[in-house]
Amino acid sequence: MGRQLGALVRKNVLLLRRAPVATALEVVSPALIALAMAAVWLTSGVDREGTQQYATSHKATVMPLGVLSARLALAGQYLVVAPASAAQAPLADALTEWLTAQYPAFDGAAAFPAPDAPAALRSLYIPRLADRILAFDSDAALEAFIRSDGYSVSAGMAKVWAAIVVNAGLPTADYSLRFNASEVVATDAPATNNLQQGADFTVVDDYVADTPSFGDNLSQQTPPSAIQAARLPGFMSLQLAVDRFLLNRTLDGGPAGLNATALLTAAVASLSLWNPEAAAALPAYAAAVAASNASAAAALDAALRAWLAAEAWAPQQVDVIPFPTLAYTSNAFFASVDTVLPLFLTLAYMYPVSRAIRALVVEKEGGIRESLRVMVRRHDAGCGHERRRRRRR
């Protein structure tokens, strides 16, 4: 084994000496690539970022459910309430009753009776949420309904926007919110990313708002109207509504005070998801009524409070804010070479590897050629021996 290795090394040394230019290129080309990378490293700047706070700069407020019923009616979808089993049925029924009471219908003609009220406000009508709620006896019944033949293609079958599944009753209430996987943040992804720098604000938006989907078929991806393409109250909006129900039942509390400013803000936020023109006209109209007609202002306040009754329950407002980002140091070199580094490595090894493969192929060809020569010589020698033996005979 040692003699064979020594012979192989001597042979490679001889090959390298016989091709000095190629040998020099094998040594110089990787060195040049390394020098180019070093030059990029030296010219790259180092950025030092301090600890970042996002409390005021990137805050997302959970949207109210005020216009959810109208949006679901437009899309032909329903909100489902179901117990996990028969034992949780009483709490599921109580939740349905609470949602019915806290999200009534809203009639713009009654809330804005003045003839000079904007037409967009007078024509408003939001159905009660109870009209868009489906109750199932169990989570298994809901699962069977979703998996039934024709659910995703039948025009007459009700479609589920989201489902509230009550898993355990009071005092340790437990529930699940079931959404389409395409409309909420992926929960099967890793919780943390140690290489990520900064905050991912798209995740924050996905928690507070729902991007509607219009079927799995590409022909169904275009929304029927601009309103249906707008975002919906999302995962946390529904979570906040259920939490208000559970917390106030557990604490035996009641609706807290909701000042006029917070009431108007919630109304505008809700209407912006259904009728942006009405949402834009409401603040000016409310201010004009408050300045000129006290009785009309009181009637408007009462109508908005009845429609947004759930917003008076604690917690009244929930904000989603990314966690602070610790200080870190970054080098632009890594962003510069992340796409070209594989190409540099390929170029650095291309010539040496190609020469090594060529040497192997040439050596194999030489061996085969020599074997053929030996075979020919043996054949010729055998034929000559046979001819001489025949002559002696």
What is the predicted pLDDT for the residue at 2?
Answer: 64
**Alpha-carbon distance values, 314 to 125, 130, 201, 245, 309 (Å):** 27, 22, 26, 9, 11
Q: What is the mean pLDDT of residues 297-324?
A: 86
Give 132-151 pLDDT, tens digit per residue. 999 999 999 999 998 888 78
Strands (E), 173-313: 174-179, 209-210, 232-233
384 pLDDT band (50/70/90 cuts)?
low
What is the predicted pLDDT for the residue at 152?
Answer: 67
Lowest mean pLDDT among 127-141, 191-205, 241-255, 298-312: 191-205
What is the predicted pLDDT for the residue at 157?
Answer: 77
Domain ranges in the chain are 2-48+340-392, 60-326
- At residue 217, does pLDDT exceed 50? no
What is the predicted pLDDT for the residue at 123?
Answer: 92
Q: What is the mean pLDDT of residues 340-367?
A: 77
**pTM beyond 0.95:** no
What is the predicted pLDDT for the residue at 390?
Answer: 60
115 pLDDT band (50/70/90 cuts)?
confident
SS3 content of the chain, % helix, strand, coil (to 5): 55, 10, 30
What is the predicted pLDDT for the residue at 254?
Answer: 53
**DSSP state for residue 131 in the 8-state scheme:** G
Q: For residues 34 and 36, what is the distance between their CA atoms, to the nearest angstrom?
A: 5
Give 4-36 pLDDT, tens digit per residue. 667 767 777 777 677 777 777 777 777 777 787
What is the predicted pLDDT for the residue at 218?
Answer: 43
Q: In what order do the strands lie in the sheet with 77-83?
A: 133-135, 77-83, 159-168, 174-179
Helix (H, G, I), strand (E, B) or coil at 189: coil
Beta-strand relationship, 125-126 and 319-320: unpaired
What is the predicted pLDDT for the residue at 216?
Answer: 47
Cβ–Cβ under 8 Å, residues 64 and 94: no
- At residue 154, does pLDDT exceed 70? no
Question: Which residue in 140, 143, 134 sits closest to 85, CA to CA?
Answer: 140
Lowest mean pLDDT among 158-167, 318-327, 342-351: 342-351
- At residue 354, does pLDDT exceed 90? no
Chain centroid to CA 197: how far? 17
232 pLDDT band (50/70/90 cuts)?
confident
Residue with tokens 């080098």: 331
Average pLDDT of every residue of the chain: 80
Q: What is the mean pLDDT of residues 181-192?
A: 66
What is the predicted pLDDT for the residue at 221?
Answer: 55
What is the predicted pLDDT for the residue at 219?
Answer: 45
Q: For residues 137 and 86, what is the distance between their CA atoms, to the nearest angstrom?
A: 7
What is the predicted pLDDT for the residue at 201?
Answer: 72
What is the predicted pLDDT for the residue at 349?
Answer: 75
What are φ and ψ of residue 160, in 5° steps? -95, 125
What is the predicted pLDDT for the residue at 13?
Answer: 74
What are φ and ψ of residue 234, in 5° steps? -105, -150
Chain centroid to CA 97: how far? 33
Give 58-94 pLDDT, tens digit per residue. 778 888 888 999 999 988 889 999 999 898 999 999 9
Cβ–Cβ under 8 Å, residues 326 and 51: yes
- At residue 322, does pLDDT exceed 70? yes
What is the predicted pLDDT for the residue at 368?
Answer: 81
- N- to C-terminal Cα separation, the chain: 50
Helix (H, G, I), strand (E, B) or coil at 49: strand
Lowest mean pLDDT among 27-31, 63-67, 113-117, 305-309: 27-31
Q: For residues 294 and 300, what is the distance between their CA atoms, to the nearest angstrom?
A: 10
Lowest mean pLDDT among 99-103, 197-201, 225-229, 263-267: 197-201
